[in-house]
Amino acid sequence: MKNRYSNLELLRIISMFFIVMHHYAIHGSAPWANHFHPKIAMTESIYLLFLSIGKAAVVAFVLIGAYFLSEKEFKLWRIVSLCINTFVYSWLIFILLKVCNVKLPALVSGYNLWLPIPIPSNYWFVISYVYMLLLMPFLNLILSHCSKRQILLLLSMLFVFWCILQFLPNNKPDNINYDFFSTNNYFLFIYLIGGYIRKYYKNGSQARTLIYLIMSLAITFMVGFLVVRYYGIYYDRLWCISAVINDPFGIMIGVSLFLTFKNMKIKTNLVINYISKSMFGVYLIHDNSYIREFLWGKLINTMPLASNSVKYLLYGFTISICVFVVCICIDIIKRLTIDPLILKEGQRLTSRVVSWSKKL
């Protein structure tokens, strides 16, 4: 991404910070999270708000990549570099914990250590993003060959199918499981949204109109959400909606965030651009399967904060900032020491594979 897009680089940073806050809530040690308790209703409302903000941040984060990739050619190196970074962090953390004699949260056998992919820690985000990159050429064909109306109809249908229908009560015996939805499919949906915005919303006034519309809908839903939540009505259903990736509030707010920052005019900022390159590293560090268990389950205890919503909120901000800054520092060190060696060699080998495949 070129320097002139510091506005979207800033959004990348903010989105990852929101994701850290989301993990503070959803991976926290408080046992009250998925059950309604009238005495701590306000704290639980903040908890659910953190969940929705996190899902919106994921949408905004993926949209940044989709927005630019929708008009670019497929490059194998994008996938390879993503996998290399994931591989390095996953194994470094695993080896460090083993050397320090830290008890891992789960038994790692030879089978699940190497299959289906050779990383000890499983990152759902990486798998879904790689899936999106693999199908990028086909998604770009849809964006280039379909009309605006056709794409808009497709997006509307996907939104209904993947963000609305599966949350409606359904007691039919043959429809108990709504299995055709997956995070992989959801990332394809977000990609098409990014491509649609890139192709048809280049005019600031059009984008601003859409921002107002989506934000109005999001605020309306969120207000109703909190009111209903406060009285404990359908809490289990609301929790399920907030806790999953395809949260309908999340997609609306995430798109609004993206459009808002897209139309901001921010001068090129080298600091923002440099820090934003570490956002993927922040995710790989703090949401590592083993680090997550220790960080949010043992080191940070939110149980005593249930009865004090203000402390829960402020503690969440403080802890999230600390985790965020520490992860950025670690990733910058890795970028300066390890990346020049590993990524350079990886890129050379990838170029050879691509050249060899063209001769077939």
User: Whose CA is closest to 76, among 352, 340, 278?
Assistant: 352
What pLDDT score was predicted for residue 3? 43
Between CA 268 and CA 270 the distance in angstroms is 6
Tell me the C-alpha to C-alpha distance, in Å, between residue 171 and each of 42, 178, 179, 243.
32, 12, 15, 21
H-helix or E-strand containing 270?
A: helix 270-276
Name the pTM for this structure.
0.88
Q: Which residue has the tokens 């004699």?
A: 101
Other beta carbons within 10 angstroms of residue 216's beta carbon come to 12
Could you report the per-residue pLDDT of 15-43, keeping only the tens digit for each?
A: 999 999 999 988 887 766 667 777 777 88
Q: Higher model confidence: residue 176 or residue 141? A: 141
Could you report the per-residue pLDDT of 112-160, keeping only the tens digit for each?
A: 565 556 677 778 999 999 999 999 999 999 999 999 999 999 999 999 8
Q: Higher model confidence: residue 255 or residue 236? A: 255
Burial class (CB in 10 A: 0-12, 13-18, 19+), 190: buried
Question: And the tokens for 139?
Answer: 């998604």
Span 249-278, mean pLDDT? 88
What pLDDT score was predicted for residue 80? 86
Angle at 183 between CA 177 and CA 186, to 5 degrees: 100
pLDDT at 105 over 70: no
Mean residue pLDDT across the chain: 82
Span 176-186, mean pLDDT? 68
What pLDDT score was predicted for residue 1? 43
Could you report the per-residue pLDDT of 182-220, keeping only the tens digit for each?
A: 888 899 999 999 999 999 887 666 667 677 667 767 776
What pLDDT score was predicted for residue 39? 75
- The region of weakest confidence among 35-44, 163-172, 291-300, 324-333 is 163-172
Q: Which residue has the tokens 């299959």?
A: 115
Answer whether 34's CB lies under 8 Å from 1's CB: no
Could you report the per-residue pLDDT of 308-356, keeping only the tens digit for each?
A: 888 999 999 999 999 999 999 999 999 999 888 887 777 777 676 666 6
Give the range of the structural domain holding residue 334, as residue numbers without chain letter. 3-358
What pLDDT score was predicted for residue 134? 93
User: Whose CA is closest to 190, among 145, 149, 247, 243?
Assistant: 247
Cα 114 to the center of its chain, rounded Å: 25
Span 264-293, mean pLDDT? 90
Phi, psi of 235 (to 5 degrees): -60, -40
Span 101-105, mean pLDDT? 71
Q: Count how many domains the chain has.
A: 1
What pLDDT score was predicted for residue 194? 95
pLDDT at 109 over 70: no
Burial class (CB in 10 A: 0-12, 13-18, 19+), 224: exposed
Phi, psi of 2 (to 5 degrees): -80, 160
pLDDT at 249 over 50: yes
pLDDT at 174 over 90: no
pLDDT at 172 over 90: no
What pLDDT score was predicted for residue 183? 85
Q: Which residue has the tokens 């503690």?
A: 315
What pLDDT score was predicted for residue 339? 85
Question: And the tokens for 78?
Answer: 């994008």
Question: And the tokens for 278?
Answer: 């570490």
